[in-house]
Structure 1
Amino acid sequence: MKAGSKFLNAVSAFALSASVVASGAGVVVLASAPIAQAATIQRVDVRGAQRAGEEAVRSNITIRPGVSFSEADIDESVKRLYSTGYFSDVRISVSGRSLVVTVNENQLVNQVVFNGNRKIKDDKLAGAVQTQPLGPYSDALLSSDVERLKEAYSATGRSDVEITTQVVPVGQGRVNIAFQINEGDRTKIDSINFVGNQAYGNRRLRDVIATKESGPLSFLTRKDVYNDDKRRADEEALRQFYYNHGYADFRVVSSDAALDESKNAYTVNFTVEEGQRYTFGDVRVESTVDGINAEDLQGLVETKSGDTYSAKDIQKSMEAISERVAAAGYPFARVTPRGDRNFQNNTIGVSYLVDQGERAYVERIEVRGNTRTRDYVIRREFDISEGDAFNQTMITRAKRRLEALGYFGKVNISTTQGTSADRVIIVVDVEDQSTGSFGIGVGYSPSSDSAILEASIEEKNFLGRGQYIRIAVGGGLDDARTYSLSFTEPYFLGYRLAAGFDVFRSQSSSEDYYDYNEQGFTLRVTAPITEDLATTFRYTYKEIGYDGNDNYLNNGNLSQPYIDMINHGDYVQSSISQTLTYNTVDSMTLPREGIYATVTHEYAGLGGDSEYYKIYGRARYFTLLSDEADIIGQLSAGAGHVIATGDKLNIFDQFTFGGKQVRGFENNGLGPRMPNGDALGGTTYFNASAEVSIPAPGLPEDFGLRLNAFADAGVLYGNDVPAAGVRDDNSIRASVGAGLTWASPFGALRVDYAVPVAKEDYDETQNFRFSMANQF
C-alpha cells in the first residue's frame, strides 16, 4: 500500500474512533479505540464561534496543523475550551485533512445588579461574586455565587439571608443577572456556656474567647457574629489560656453551636477538661553539642522552679537559647524541651536539650492567601530567609509576630519537602482582614491639660505596605481644638526600625485669661532591643503662642510671670529626647498581668526659647488578684526632675501636676502657686497609686464595664521661674476614690470620684474626673 493511502486510512480510522463531546456534565469520550499511528491535519475549521471568534478557539487547543497529535491532545483541547466558560458544548472531529471544532456558545452577561441589599454595599457584593459583566453566563457559576453571597452575609451575622436570582435575556446572546436579596435579621448569640470548668468561672472564660454574647452594643462591636472558624479559634484561645496558667493537661472535649430558628440565635457550648494545675519543678539546660556550655545558657531560661507552669515561658526560653546558640556559630542546633511530670506534687520538671539537628536549609518561603498585604510585609517578620539554616523555633516566633500585626484573620505556617532531602519549603497561609477604622473617642489636649472628644480615621496596613497612618480632629471645653496627623513606617530602610512623624496643632483658652495655641512636629524612630525592651529617639519642634485678655491683664488678675509670658507672645521650643520602654503586659486595652515602664530624658536648647534637661518616668505593675473573679490589682509610681541649662526656666518648661497624677485635684491643682492662685509648675515630682478593678456585676462581658477603687498620692515642688510670694512646699497630697471604666466602641472611657485626704489650703480640688483609661 502506498504511503498516502496509509495516511488517509489512518485519519479515517481516527475520525471514527475519537469523537469527543463536552457538555455541562463534563467531558465524555464517545469511542476510544487506540490510534495505530500518529495523525496530522492541514487546517483547523472552527464552527459556531460567533462572539468568541475563531482565533480565540484555535488559541485554546493544543493541536496545530502539520504537527502530529493523538487522542490525548483532543481530550486536552476539549477541556481547555470548556474551562474558558464561554462554551456550553464542544465537539472535535477529523474530516479529511481538517480538524473540525464545533462549539455552542454560552450567553454573555450584560449587567449584574443587586436588589434589596442595605447592610452590604453593591461594590462589596460585586467583589464577592464571579459572575461579571461581559463574562460568560453559567448556571453552575450563578449557584456558587449565591453561596458566596450567603457567606458574606453570614460573616456580618445574618445567617438567615435569602437570595434568589433572576436571568433576563436582552437579545444578541446576552442576559442581565439580578440577585434578589432578603437580608433578614442579624443572627445573634443568645448564650455561651462552659461545661467542666472548675478553676475559672464562665464569665472569666467568656472574656478569653473572641466570640461574645449579644448585648446592647453588639450592633457596633459585631463580636457576636458566629462562624465555625471563629469557634475553632476560640478553642485554641482556651487551650493557650489554660496552658499559660498551669493546666498542662487541659483539653477541649467538644464544642458546638445550636441555632434556635425561632429566636434566630445561637447557643454556643464548650465542654472542657481542666486537669490539675502544675508548677515548674527542676529546670535545667543540657547540651550534646561540642562547644556549647549548658551552664552559660541557664541564665536565658525564663521558667523558674516553683513558678506556675506556662507554655508561653517555655517557648520564650527556647527562642532565647536557640538565638544564642545560632549566634555562637551553630545554626543547625536544635532546642527541645522535655517535661517530667510528677503527679504526686503536681510539678513539671523541664530540661532544654540542645543537640545537633538535621542539616536543612530554607529553599523558599511561599506566601499564599494575601489579597491585599504585600509579600514583603509578611516575609520581613521572619528572622530567616531563603538559603538560611532551617530553624523551627524561628518559625514559631514569626507566626506570633504575624498574628500580633492585626492584619490577618488567620495565620498558618507549614513546611513541605523541597527539591532535595536537605531543603525545606516554608508555606505561609494568611487571610487578610479589615485594618481601617473610623473612631470617636476621648483624647487628651496637652495645651489645656483636659479631655477632648476626638474623631479619627486610622489605617494600620496602609496600601498593604504595613504602614500606619492616623488623622484626628478633636474639640473640648474652653474652645479647645486639636488636629493631628501621624505616620509610621515599621521597617525603615529595611531594618526593624519604626520611623515616623507627628504633625500637630492645638488651641485652648485659660479661664479667659489668655488664649493658648501650639503647633509643631515630631520626628521619631523606635528600635527594639529585646522582645520586651525598646528605645525611642525623638526630635520635637514646637511653636507656642499666647494672646492675653487686656481686661484681666490691666485688672491684675494675672501674676507677673504670666503677664511677662503673655507679653512675650510667641515662643519656640526645640528638643531631643530618648525613651526606654519595658513592656510585658498581656493586653494594651485591659492589662491583667505584666509591667509597663518608661523612662525618658529630654534636652531642649537646639535653638528656641527653652533651655533645660528633663528626666522622668513611670512604672505600672498589673497582677490578677483572683483569676476566677477577674479581680485585677495595679501599682504604679512615677517621678521627674528638670533643671535649667540656660538662664532660667519658662513656666511651660516646668512640670505640671494635678488630677492626672492624684485624682481629686484639678488639672494643675497641685504644686507651687502665686498668691492669686496662678499655677507655676514645679521642677520635681513624685507620685504613686494603688488600684483594684472588678467586672461590673450583672452585666454581660461585651458591655465592658468595670468598677475601680483606688488611692493616689504625690507631690510637686521646686520653682525656677522668677516670682515673688510663691507658695510652695513638699508635703504629700493624697486621695481615695472609686470609679467606672467602660471599654466602649468609641475608646476606653473612665469616670472617677475622688476625695482628697491630704492637701494644702491653696490646692485646687475637683472630685469628678472624666478621662481616658490606660493611658500608657
Structure 2
Amino acid sequence: MTDSRGTGTFCGSHGRRSNILWQALTFFFLFATPGLLVLPQPAQAQSYTINNFEVEGNRRIQTSTIISRTGIEPGQTVSAGQLNDAFQRLLDSGVFETVELTPRGSTLVIEVEEYPTINQISIEGNRRVKDGVLLDVISSETRRVFTPQVAEADADLIAEVYSAQGRVSATVIPRIIRRSDNRVDLVFEVAEGTTIEVERVSFVGNRAYSDRRLRRVLETKQANILRTFLRGDTFIADRIEFDKQVIRDFYLSRGYIDFRVNSANVEFTRERDAFFLVMNITEGQRYSFGQISTVSEIPGVDAAKYQAALKVKPGVVYSPTVIENSIARLERLGLKEGVDFLRVEPRVTRNPRDLSLDVQFVLTRGPRIFVERIDIEGNTTTLDRVIRRQFDTVEGDPFNPREIRQSAERIRALGFFAVADVETREGSSPSQVIVDVDVEEQPTGSLSLGGSYSVSDGFGIAIGLNEANFLGRGQNLGVTLSTAQDAEQYTINFTEPYLLGRKLRFDLGLGLSSTNSSFASYDTKTVFFRPQLSYAIGELSSLRLRYGWNNSEMSQQSNETNGAVISSEIDQGKRTTSSFGVSYVYDSRLGGLNPTAGVLFEVGVDAAGVGGDNEFIKTTARAIAQQRVLNEEVVLRASLELGALNWTGNDFSRTLDRFVLGPNTFRGFEPAGIGPRDLSNGQDDAIGGNYYWVARFESDFPLGLPEELGLRGGVFYDVGNLYNINNVDTTGAEIVGANGSIRHVIGVSVLWETPFGPLRFNFSNALKKEEFDKAQSFDLTIQARF
C-alpha cells in the first residue's frame, strides 16, 4: 500500500504539475500568438513588368532612340535598381538636362528635358587676344548640343591661353542667353586681368657661373625698361619647366655630369604685382674626357679602324653631345663597312681623383629588327616626301632607335608643324617595327616689316613676304623690297633644300638694286641672277657651287662732276658679268666639340669670262675664331678677311668690280674711306683696289649694369690695307694711295640688345691713316625686324 500510495502520490503530483504546465502554455498561445502575427516580415523586392512606354518632352531625339537607351525591352520585368540604371544611362547620354522615370502599371513614363542647341558663340571682354584665336581652342560648336560641363571646360581652355601670355589672373565665365525653339547663345565673358611679370630671376648654389650668365640661357627674362615689347618677362608656368631643362643641358654640355635642379620656386612680390623666380641648383664637379678606347664584340670587326674614326681626345671637356656624335660616326662607319645591326654602347668609368671620365665604345650586334614601314598622318598641306626625306632610314632597313630620334628632331626643326610626334610600335612580326609620324601643321607664311640704318645707306625700311613651305613642298619663297635714303633693292629668293630628292640645296636669287650714295659721285643700277648649289662634305664643312650673272651701269649724279677714272668708267655704259664660283666653308661655332669656342673658315674663287663683258678671277677668304673666357662672361673674337682681283680682260676694270671697304669691314672710316683715290678735276673719288686684307680683334663684356637693360661694352682694334689699281684707266687721273699703307684703328663699343634687334654704337680713333683717308669717329648699326 505504502508503495502503492507512494506511487499514486507521485502520479497525482505529476498530474497537478502537468495541468499547471498546460494552463501556462494555453495562456502563452492565447496572448503571444497575436503579437507574433504583427511582427515585421522580410521585405519583398518591388518589381515592375513593363509592356508599354510613353516618352514626353523630346523634340530632337526620337522616341525609339530614348527607349533603346534605357536598355529595357517590352514585357521585361525590372527592379527598382534596374530602373535607376536606365535613368542613369539616359542622363549620361549628355543630351538631356533632366530625366524622370515613372512606372504606371505596366507602362513606363519617361519625361525628359533636352539640352538646348547652341545658336551662336561669342566672346566678350577680350582685347589682347582675338576672337579667332580663342574660338579655335574651344570644343563647343554652333548647332551642337549645349552642355554645362563642356562650356566650363572651354572656359578653362580660354583661361589657359591668357595664362600662357602671363595673365594668370584672367577669369572666364560661360553664360547662356535663352532663345526660342530650345536654343541658346553661348557667351564667354572674359576678364583679362593684368600681365604678371617676372621681376627678378636668381640662382642659389651656382659657383662656376654667375646669375647674369645663367639668365642668358633661360627663356624667362627679367622685366626691363622695354617690357612693352618683350614677352619673355611674363610669368608662364610651362616656360619654367622648359628653363629647367635648358639650364641642365647648359651644365651637362660643359662637363657638370652631376648637375641637378633642386627646385624652381616662384613667389609673389610683397605688392603681389610681380613674381620672383629662384632656382636652387647643385653644380657638382666638372669632368673631362680621360682614356678613350674602342672594343669589338662582333667577330671580324676591327676595333682599331673604329678607334681611328673618333674625333674626341683626352682632356676635352665632357659633353653628352660629343658622345652622341661619336656613336653616330661609328655607326655610319659600320654601315659603310657592311656591318648590319651595329650598336655602339658607351661605357663610362668615373675617375674622381682627377675628375676624368674614361669612355669605352663597345661595338655590339643589336637585335635583328627591321623597319616595316613609316606611316605619316596629320599633314594636310605638306607632302609626305617632305617629312619622309628627314629619315635616313627607309622601309626594309635595320631599325636604329638613335636614327629615329634624330629624324624626329629634324622634322621638328623644319618649323612647319606645331606638333610632331614620332613613335614606334611592333609591326606584323616581332622582328618588324612601324614608325608612326603624327604632325599638326601650323602657318608657315609671314609678312615682315623691318627697319635699318647704316652710315653708307642711311635709314631704310624693308617689307618682306615669305613662305617657308611653298605649296607644301618644303621650299622657301621670299620677296623683299628694301628702300633706304641712298639705296634700293628688290629681290626674289627661292630655296629647294633637297634638289632631285637628294641632300643638295639649291638657292636662286634674282633682283634689281640701285644706289645713290652721298659717299660717291656716281649712281649705280644692277640687275642680277644668282643660282647656287650647296652640299655637305663633312659634319662641319660644306661646298658651294654658284653661277652669277649681272648687268650693271654707272651713271653721273646730277650737279656732280667726276674725276678722270670715274668719268672713264661711266663712259663704258652697261657691262655684263658672267661668272662661275666655288666656296669651301668650315664652321664649328655651333656644332663643334667645344660649346665655348668656335671657328669659321671660308674661301672662295669666282672666274668671269664665260660670256659677258668682264674677265677676271676673284679670290676671297675669311677666318673667324671666338672664345668665351672668365666663366663665359667675356667674349674674345679675332677675324682675318682678304681678297684679290686678277683682271684678265683686255679692257679696264671698274670701281664696281674692285674691292671697296665700308665700316662693316674696316671700322673707323667712312664707306670707301680708305684705299686709292682720284683727285683729278678737283674731285676726291674713291676708286677701290684689287687687293685688301683686314684683321679685326675685339672683345665684349658686361658693364656691371642690371642685366635687364641689355647693355654690354666692347673694345676693338682693326688693322688693314686696300691697294693696287692695275688695269685701271688712269688717263688724266691724279691717283693717291695706289701702293697702299697699313691703317690702325682702336675703339670702344656699346652693344644694346633690344626687342627690335641688336644695336651697336662704335666710337673709334684712327691711330694711323693717310691724309686723304676719310676717318669716322662714330658709327651706329641698326638691324631691326618687327
2:429 to 397, 420, 441: 420
Aligned residue in 2 for 1:200 = 209
Paired letter, 2:719: A
Instruction: Report SS of the residue matched to 2:500.
Output: helix
Mapping for residues 387-398 of structure 1, pairs under 5 Å: 387-398=396-407
My pick for the range that moved more, 149-158 or 523-532, is: 523-532
**1:202 Cα shift?**
0.8
User: Which position in structure 2 is the counterpart of 1:706?
Assistant: 712
Report deviation, 1:434: 6.8
Q: Residue 549 of structure 2 aligns to a residue in which SS? A: strand
Partner Cα distance (2:49, 2:693) in 1: 96
Q: After TM superposition, give the deviation of residue 282 of structure 1 in Å.
A: 0.7
User: What secondary structure is seen at the aligned counterpart in 2 of 1:275?
Assistant: coil
SS in 2 for 1:313: helix
1:122 to 121, 131, 135: 131
Structure 1 window deviating more from structure 2 (710-719 vs 535-544): it is 535-544
Is residue 2:594 matched to residue 1:586?
Answer: no
Alignment map for 1:265-304 (pairs within 5 Å): 265-304=274-313
Which residue identity does 2:359 align to in structure 1?
Answer: V
Corresponding residue to 1:490 among 487, 491, 497: 497
Q: CA deviation at 1:200?
A: 0.8
Q: Secondary structure at the match of 1:348?
A: strand
Name which of 719, 723, 737 aligns with 1:717: 723
Residues 513 and 386 (structure 1 numbering): CA distance in 2 closer, same or farther, change over 3 Å? same
Residue aligned with 2:393, SS: coil
- How far apart are the structure 2 equivalents of 1:369 and 1:191? 41
Contact 2:118–2:145 (Cα < 8 Å) also in 1: yes
Determine the structure 1 residue equivalent to 2:567: 563
Alpha-carbon distance in structure 2 between the residues aligned to 1:78 and 1:526: 70
In structure 2, the partner of 1:253 is 262
The 3-state SS of whatever aligns with 2:331 is: helix
Structure 2 residue 165 is matched with structure 1 residue 156: yes
Structure 1 residue aligned with 2:743, among 733, 752, 756? 733
Of residues 486-495 and 371-380 in structure 1, the stretch that sits farther from structure 2 once superposed is: 371-380
User: Does structure 1 residue 167 correspond to structure 2 residue 176?
Assistant: yes
CA distance in 2, matches of 1:429, 1:80: 35
Distance (Å, rounded) in 2 between the aligned partners of 1:516 and 1:716: 22
Question: Are 2:463 and 2:480, in contact at CA under 8 Å, matched by a contact in 1?
Answer: yes
Partners in 1 of 2:550 and 2:55 — Cα distance?
75
Instruction: Answer yes or no: is the 8 Å Cα contact 2:530–2:547 preserved in 1.
Output: yes
Partner of 2:522: 514
Tell me what 2:251 maps to: 242
- Larger deviation, residues 170-179 vs 517-526: 517-526
**Distance in 2 (alpha carbons) for counterparts of 1:618 and 1:624:** 20
112-121 or 407-416: which moved more? 407-416
Larger-Rg structure: 2
1:530-555 residue CA offsets vs partner (Å, 9 max, x unmatched): 33222233333323233324643xxx
Equivalent runs, 1:173-192 vs 2, <5 Å: 173-192=182-201
1:629-640 residue pairs with structure 2 within 5 A?
630-640=633-643
Give the letter aligned to residue 688 of structure 2.
Answer: G
> Are the structure 2 counterparts of residues 656 and 444 from structure 1 closer, same or farther at C-alpha, using a change threshold of 3 Å?
farther
2:751 counterpart letter in structure 1: T
1:386–1:277 Cα change, 3 Å? same
SS across alignment from 1:270:
strand
Report the secondary structure of 2:306's partner residue: helix
C-alpha offsets along residues 456-489 of structure 1, whole Å, 9 cap, x if unaligned?
A: 45454557654434443333333x2233332323
In the alignment, what sits opposite 1:228? 237
Question: Hey, what does 1:112 align to over in structure 2?
Answer: 121
**Number of paired residues?**
714
* Residue pair 1:445, 1:482 contacting (<8 A) in 2 also: no
What stretches of structure 1 of length at least 5 have no aligned partner?
A: 1-14, 20-43, 66-75, 94-98
Indicate the SS of the match to 1:205.
Answer: helix
Q: Note the alpha carbon deviations across 1:117-149, whole angstroms, 9 max, x for none.
A: 111111111111111222221111111110110
The more displaced of 422-431 and 76-85 is 76-85
Give the conservation status (yes or no) of the 8 Å contact 1:482–1:506.
yes
How much does 1:736 deviate? 0.8
Q: Which amino acid aligns with 1:498?
A: R
Question: CA, structure 1 residues 430+624, in 2 after alignment: closer, same or farther (shift >3 Å)?
Answer: farther
State the TM-score, normalized to the length of structure 1: 0.82
The aligned residue for residue 603 of structure 1 is: 607
The equivalent position to 2:685 in structure 1, one of 678, 689, 695, is 678
* 2: CA distance, partners of 1:79 / 1:561: 97
Q: Counterpart of 1:285 in 2: which secondary structure?
A: strand
Contact 1:741/1:773 (8 A) holds in 2: no
Query: CA offset at residue 235 of structure 1?
Result: 1.6
Give the equivalent residue in structure 2 for 1:477: 485
The 3-state SS of whatever aligns with 2:678 is coil
State the match for 1:618 in structure 2: 622
Shift of residue 269, structure 1, vs aligned partner:
2.2
Normalising by structure 2, report the TM-score: 0.81
Q: Which residue of 2 aligns with 1:575?
A: 579
Q: Deviations over 1:726-756 (max 9, x none)?
A: 3211422221111122333233332211111
Residue segments in structure 2 that go unaligned for 5+ positions in a row: 1-46, 74-84, 103-107
1:688 is aligned to 2:698: no
| 2:499 is aligned with 1:499 | no
| Cα 1:18–1:301 shift into 2, 3 Å | farther
SS in 2 for 1:522: strand
Cα distance in 1 for partners of 2:50, 2:291 equals 75
- Alignment check: 8 A CA contact 2:695 2:720 kept: yes
Aligned to 1:644: 647
Contact 2:457 2:484 in 1 (8 A): no
Q: Which residue of 1 aligns with 2:780?
A: 770
Of 661, 668, 685 in structure 2, the residue corresponding to residue 664 of structure 1 is 668
Equivalent pair of 1:442/1:747 in contact (CA under 8 Å): no
> Is the contact made by 2:453 and 2:780 (CA closer than 8 Å) also made in structure 1?
no
- Distance of aligned partners of 1:429 and 1:625 in 2 relative to their CA distance in 1, 3 Å threshold: farther
Deviations 1:216-239 (A, max 9, x none): 233323112333332222222112
Q: Which amino acid aligns with 1:362?
A: V
Offset at 1:317? 1.0
Alignment check: 8 A CA contact 1:362 1:426 kept: yes
| Aligned position for 2:8 | none
Matched residue SS, 1:125: helix
* CA distance, structure 1, for counterparts of residue 482 and residue 220 of structure 2: 32
What root-mean-square deviation, in Å, do the aligned CA atoms of Structure 1 and Structure 2 show? 4.0
Mapped to 2, the partners of 1:89 and 1:709 lie a distance apart of 77
Shift in Å, 1:640:
1.3
Distance in 1 of aligned mates of 2:783 and 2:698: 13
Contact kept, 8 Å, 1:108 with 1:174, in 2: the verdict is: yes
Equivalent AA in structure 1 for residue 223 of structure 2:
S
Partner of 2:754: 744
- The Cα shift of 1:319 comes to 0.9
Structure 1 residues 284, 168: closer, same or farther in 2, change over 3 A?
same
Whether the 8 Å CA contact 1:750–1:773 is kept in 2: the answer is: no
